[in-house]
Amino acid sequence: MRIGVLTAGGDCPGLNAVIRSVVHRAVAGHGDEVIGFEDGFKGLLDGRHRKLDLDAVAGILARGGTILGSSRLERARLREACETSKDHARDYGIDVLIPIGGEGTLTAARMLSDAGLPIVGVPKTIDNDISATDRTFGFDTAVGVATEAMDRLKTTAESHQRVMVVEVMGRHAGWIALESGMAGGAHGICLPERPFEIDALVKMVEERFSRGKKFAVICVAEGAHPAEGTMDYKKGEIDQYGHERFTGIGNRLAAELERRLGKEARPVILGHVQRGGTPTAYDRVLATRFGWHAVEAAHRGDFGMMTALRGTDIEMVPIAEAVTELKTVPVPRMDEAESVF
């Protein structure tokens, strides 16, 4: 069998572990050939690819990013890819394509699959917002980075009697904010799923200081926003990939808290630090298992399906199931974290 593999969308710790696992299982396990397309679907359209053998993936398990490169595809180019998808399989002689990507990539993968290209998907995102899988690799690493940041910020916040507003990634789903906020002991957590009340945040900080506490940490997801009419906050425009451009809730919230509390507040925007660097052991294992199962699925002819973690098992689920709606934080999970506002 000849397998094509690509990584698309925002990168994520663990992508290289999937690529390595696909190559190991396919080449060493089945005697397959693997080619990697460069820079996501763009490499497929432009014919940029290279052979991936065991040597090509040596030493990449612990490496962040993706050795294949990644990109987002504009809608017009995606249509072009669908129209010519069967030609790609023929031109490159591939029996199956394994795209590794998030919601956008899986939507593209589904379209290509519907257009006749044999596909086995692998979900990835630090945001953990893909339905149909309990977890995505990259999430554990991102939560670890954000938690460590909060641990560090607490000591400097306390020294200066400050409020720290830590902005983490999460456009529509607040999983990183929820879990890093809980693990880092944030006193306030703001999620995209529930508009926050600025008055309640102010009250919480005032109460802390009145009890003799000398600092507060608030963890805010980049997609969080205040309840209507409670605080000025301008939403951004939509970019060419259909994503809202954020105007900086971390900065805005820190400024508002400083004004209302009369205490120093500092914003800390963690940004892409959460996506870079080496994956945790958990993410390496999950990514490796996804790669192994994707190759097995390809050999069974399970096309139009993707790997998913269900409990502790890896199962194959229709890609369609993963892209119909985002997995957001449900209310009972918010209730467990006392500090969600």
CA 224/CA 198 separation, integer angstroms? 12
User: DSSP letters along 8-31, please?
Assistant: -SS--TTHHHHHHHHHIIIIIIH-
Q: What count of other Cβ atoms lies within 10 Å of the Cβ of residue 88?
A: 19
DSSP-derived 3-state class of residue 7: strand
Does the annotation list 300 as a binding residue?
Answer: no
- Give, in degrees to the nearest 5, the angle at Cα 229 between 223 and 234: 45
Calculate the CA dihedral of residues 97, 102, 103, 106 and round it to 10 degrees: 0
Candidates 11, 32, 39, 127; catalytic one: 127
Does the annotation list 162 as a binding residue?
Answer: yes
Q: In terms of Cα–Cα distance, which of 232, 54, 101, 256 is closest to 165?
A: 256
Q: In terms of Cα–Cα distance, which of 298, 288, 324, 279 is closest to 19?
A: 288
Does the annotation list 73 as a binding residue?
Answer: yes
Does the annotation list 77 as a binding residue?
Answer: no
> How many residues in the chain?
341
Does the annotation list 9 as a binding residue?
Answer: no
CA 227/CA 5 separation, integer angstroms? 43
Does the annotation list 104 as a binding residue?
Answer: yes
Q: In what order do the strands lie in the sheet with 163-168?
A: 188-190, 216-221, 163-168, 265-269
CA 286/CA 75 separation, integer angstroms? 30
Between the two ends of the chain, the Cα-to-Cα distance in Å is 52
Does the annotation list 274 as a binding residue?
Answer: yes
* Interacting residue ranges for ligand F6P, rule: CB under 6 A: 10, 102, 125-127, 169-171, 222, 275
**In the annotation, is 95 catalytic?**
no
Calculate the CA dihedral of residues 80, 1, 307, 193 and round it to 10 degrees: -20
CA 184/CA 261 separation, integer angstroms? 23
What residues are designated binding site for substrate?
125-127, 162, 169-171, 222, 266, 272-275
Which residues form the catalytic set? 127
